[in-house]
């Protein structure tokens, strides 16, 4: 059957006047094909059987809108300002965040950057990620590249089964006064087992599959306003049934009051409206071994991570995480193997370069002594 392609150029007004490309017919990017959008895209036709690359480029804000969500195979976002989704955009393979944010209107949570089965992304960072909603379709585990305009604030989702659909957004807002919710999430409404609750930020996570999450904090999170003991920090959620905040985990936080992360127990995201940080009513078990410096430059000093206490328990396990809570190293029966190379996560694919410089967090389990230690280390990148 012959296919026809109709492309119309027209002047559109969406807060500003600029040229737009409108697809009203049947548009397809074939394998190895490339198309670059330097103007708004209005998709009112079929644009979903793509195998090539589509890029959004330019110094102005680019709007992606229309009656029909497009499905792109590989996509690049490289704008000086933002690419604004007025309708959802589906990714079937890879999304590369090069520069500029992807913005979805939080007052319209049905609009998302949606990652289909087996799709993924690269290049996310503070200046380039999604300020709004990210969703997944037919995926089990995913790190949502969400944040506000200035910072990346990812949420790591590990589900016990495949999510038919799940989505997440980050809000740099006081949950007592949310801008796009009809419900007020009163941080004083909580049981005695929950201490102070963050008024600086929260996440909205939706999903019907029992899951665990990891969320991280930074200096802007002001964790000192919650507690002076990192081990008491836990994720808390606003329970829809109880209309109050409840604890989602009991493992405590890892890191310090400036940067760290915490993990939850298994829960069903749809049972909770929003998620943030809270302090447990009572201190959690944990022991800080101290801080470490790793400088793998071959001078024989601090080239590897050495934790002398692990010698007292040959039956042990060491986990190392980056500042967002992404696991980068795991070793059972650790004997000084960590030298800045990743054994877990996306960094393994380029591990000859080693992990970037920065603060990392560790959890050391000493099974022979029935103890668990946690702390952080500073890594200087390999030369």
Please check whether residues 187 and 275 belong to one and the same domain.
yes
Cβ-contact 291, 258 below 8 angstroms: no
Residues 6+ apart with CB under 8 A from 105: 84, 85, 86, 111, 132
Residues of the chain by 3-state class (helix, strand, coil), percent to 5? 5, 50, 45
Q: 123 and 18, same structural domain?
A: yes
pLDDT of residue 16: 39
Name the residue with higher pLDDT: 47 or 198: 198
Distances (CA, A) of 336 to 11, 118, 307, 351: 63, 35, 8, 18
Percent of the chain past pLDDT 90, that is, above it, reads: 70
Task: For residue 279, give its domain range.
Answer: 173-285
Tell me, what's the pLDDT at 138? 98
Shared domain for 139 and 179, answered yes or no, is no
More confident residue, 375 or 75: 75
pLDDT at 312 over 80: no
**Domains in the chain, number:** 3
- Give pLDDT, residue 191: 83
Q: Are residues 360 and 221 in the same domain?
A: no
Q: Give the model confidence (pLDDT) of 108-150 as tens digits.
A: 999 999 999 999 999 999 999 999 999 999 999 999 999 999 9
Residue 314 confidence (pLDDT): 81
Does 307 have pLDDT greater than 60?
yes
Are both 137 and 167 inside the same structural domain? yes
Q: pLDDT-derived band of residue 347, with 50, 70 and 90 as boundaries?
A: low
Model confidence at 345, pLDDT cuts 50, 70, 90, reads: low
Residues 6+ apart with CB under 8 A from 51: 29, 30, 31, 32, 33, 73
In whole angstroms, give the CA distance from residue 64 to residue 66: 7
Statement: residue 12 has pLDDT above 50: no
Full DSSP string of 93-123: EEEEEEEEEEE--TT-TT--EEE-TT-EEE-
Q: Nearest-CA neighbor of 140 among 162, 118, 165, 119?
A: 162
Nearest residue to 361 (alpha-carbon basis) of 195, 228, 231: 231
When pLDDT is cut at 50, 70 and 90, the band that residue 230 belongs to is: very high
Kindly state whether residues 216 and 314 are assigned to the same domain: no
Q: Specify whether 302 is located in the same domain as 253.
A: no
pLDDT digits (tens, 9 = 90+) for 237-260: 999 988 999 999 877 888 899 999
Neighbours of 298 (CB within 10 A): 10
| C-alpha to C-alpha distance for 91 and 121, rounded to whole angstroms | 9
Contacts by 53-62 with C-beta closer than 8 Å and gap 24+?
53/29, 54/29, 56/83, 60/18, 61/16, 62/37, 62/38
> What DSSP string describes 281-328?
SSPPP-EEEEEEEE--SSSSSS-S---GGGGG-SSEEEEEE-TTS-EE
pLDDT over 70 (residue 352): no
User: Residue 361 is part of a domain; what is its CATH number?
Assistant: 2.60.40
| Predicted pLDDT of residue 245 | 94
- In this structure, are 198 and 152 located in the same domain? no
> Chain-wide mean pLDDT for the chain?
88
Tokens coding 89: 């955009």
Q: Which residues pair with 255 in a beta bridge?
A: 260
| Pairwise CA distance, residues 322 & 154, whole Å | 12
181 and 256 in a single domain? The answer is yes
Is the separation of the CB atoms in 361 and 355 below 8 Å?
no
Confidence of residue 351 (pLDDT cuts 50, 70, 90): low
Contact 237, 272 (CB under 8 A): yes
Residue 370 CB burial class (10 angstroms; 0-12, 13-18, ≥19): exposed
pLDDT tier at 27, thresholds 50, 70, 90: confident
Token pair in block for residue 251: 């493992």
Task: For residue 290, give the nearest of 315, 307, 313 by alpha carbon.
Answer: 307
DSSP letter string over 136-190? ESSEEEEEE-BB-SS-B--EEEEEEEEESSEEEEEE-S-TTS-SS-SS---TT--
350: pLDDT confidence band, cut at 50, 70 and 90?
Answer: low
Last residue of a domain, one of 285, 316, 342: 285
Span 159-181, pLDDT tens digits:
999 999 999 999 999 999 999 99
Q: Quick one: 35 and 108 in the same domain?
A: yes
pLDDT of residue 367: 81
**Are 142 and 115 spatial neighbours (Cβ–Cβ below 8 Å)?**
yes
56 lies in the same domain as 167: yes
Whether the CB-CB separation of 113 and 135 falls below 8 Å is answered with yes
User: Which of 230, 258, 285 represents a domain boundary (last residue)?
Assistant: 285
- pLDDT higher than threshold 60 for residue 361: yes
**Cβ-Cβ contacts under 8 Å for 219 (sequence gap 6 or more):** 258, 259
For 190-199, the pLDDT digits (tens) are: 887 789 999 9
More confident residue, 324 or 116: 116
Residue 145 and residue 187 share a domain: no
Look at residue 17 and tell me whether its pLDDT is greater than 80. Answer: no
Q: pLDDT value at position 212? A: 95
Rg (CA), the chain: 23
Q: Which of 265, 285, 305 is the last residue of a domain?
A: 285
Query: Residue holding tokens 């200087």?
Result: 380
Whether 373 contacts 364, CB under 8 Å: yes
The pLDDT-based confidence of 381 (bands split at 50, 70, 90) is confident
Work out the pLDDT band at 346, boundaries 50, 70, 90.
low
pLDDT at 6: 35
């Amino acid at each position: 059957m012959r296919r026809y392609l109709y492309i119309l150029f027209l002047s559109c007004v969406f807060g500003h006047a600029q040229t737009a490309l409108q697809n009203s017919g049947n548009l397809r990017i074939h394998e190895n094909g490339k198309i670059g959008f330097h103007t708004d895209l209005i998709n009112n036709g079929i644009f979903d059987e793509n195998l090539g690359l589509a890029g959004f480029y330019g110094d102005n804000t680019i709007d992606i809108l229309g009656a029909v969500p497009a499905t792109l195979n590989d996509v690049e976002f490289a704008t000086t300002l933002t690419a604004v989704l007025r309708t959802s955009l589906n990714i079937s393979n890879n999304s590369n965040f090069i520069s500029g944010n992807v913005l979805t209107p939080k007052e319209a949570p049905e609009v998302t950057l949606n990652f289909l089965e087996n799709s993924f992304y690269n290049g996310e960072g503070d200046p380039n990620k999604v300020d709004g909603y990210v969703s997944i379709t037919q995926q089990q585990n995913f790190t949502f590249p969400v944040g506000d305009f200035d910072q990346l604030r990812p949420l790591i989702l590990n589900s016990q089964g495949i999510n038919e659909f799940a989505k997440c957004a980050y809000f740099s807002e006081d949950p007592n006064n949310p801008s796009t919710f009809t419900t007020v999430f009163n941080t004083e409404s909580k049981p005695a087992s929950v201490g102070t609750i963050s008024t600086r930020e929260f996440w909205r996570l939706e999903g019907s599959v029992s899951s665990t999450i990891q969320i991280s904090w930074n200096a802007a999170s002001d964790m000192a306003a919650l507690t002076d003991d990192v081990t008491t920090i836990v994720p808390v959620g606003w329970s829809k049934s109880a209309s109050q905040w409840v604890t989602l985990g009991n493992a405590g936080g890892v890191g310090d009051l400036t940067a760290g992360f915490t993990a939850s127990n298994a829960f069903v995201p749809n049972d909770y409206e929003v998620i943030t940080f809270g302090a447990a009513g009572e201190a959690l078990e944990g022991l800080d071994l101290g801080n470490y410096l790793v400088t793998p430059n071959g001078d024989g000093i601090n080239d590897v991570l050495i934790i002398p206490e692990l010698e007292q328990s040959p039956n042990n396990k060491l986990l190392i995480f980056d500042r967002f809570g992404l696991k980068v190293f795991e070793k059972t029966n650790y004997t000084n193997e960590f030298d800045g190379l990743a054994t877990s996560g996306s960094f393994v694919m380029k591990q000859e370069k080693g992990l970037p410089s920065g603060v990392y967090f560790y959890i050391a389990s000493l099974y022979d002594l029935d103890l668990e230690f946690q702390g952080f280390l500073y890594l200087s990148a390999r030369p």
